[in-house]
């Protein structure tokens, strides 16, 4: 399968790169590479991305794209997010095909977690 015209990289704003790095390492075990003081690249095991220095946030309400992560144990993932300093912005809800919740990372970027597991 070709990577031609497929999503290849995601970027998020972050005012505190150290906090964001610690959060995603602790909760999701992402790997990071620093590129100077204003950029932090990540790999989540499937896709690459980065955090750039900025005093903004990416949220659905502000028109940002909602990145949705998959979990085989949504309750455990939710607990890890809260324990690492994330905030649940939309509690778990059912939808056709599964359940999901939204959260904000320490910078205020909004992401979601979904599962098809009961």
pLDDT tens track for 33-72 = 999 999 999 999 999 999 999 999 999 999 999 999 999 9
Q: Which neighbouring-strand residues pair with 50?
A: 11, 41
Alpha-carbon torsion (28, 40, 112, 90), positive or negative: positive
pTM: 0.95
Q: What are the structural domains, with CATH classification, of the chain?
A: 9-115 (3.10.180.10)
3-class DSSP assignment, residue 37: coil
Rg (CA), the chain: 14
Contact 101, 93 (CB under 8 A): yes
User: Over the stretch 23-39, which tens digit does the pLDDT of each residue have?
Assistant: 999 999 999 999 999 99
Average pLDDT, rounded, for the chain: 97
H-assigned helices in 12-117: 17-28, 74-83
């Amino acid at each position: 399968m070709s990577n031609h015209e497929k999503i290849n990289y995601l970027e998020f704003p972050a005012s505190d790169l150290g906090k964001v790095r610690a959060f995603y390492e602790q909760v999701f075990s992402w790997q990071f590479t620093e590129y100077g003081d204003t950029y932090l690249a990540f790999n989540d095991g499937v896709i690459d991305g980065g955090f750039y220095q900025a005093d903004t946030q990416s949220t659905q309400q502000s028109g940002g794209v909602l990145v949705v992560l998959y979990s085989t144990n949504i309750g455990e993932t939710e607990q890890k997010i809260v324990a690492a300093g994330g905030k649940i912005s939309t509690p778990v809800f059912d939808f056709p095909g599964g359940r999901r919740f939204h959260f904000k990372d320490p910078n205020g970027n909004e992401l979601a977690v979904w599962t098809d597991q009961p």
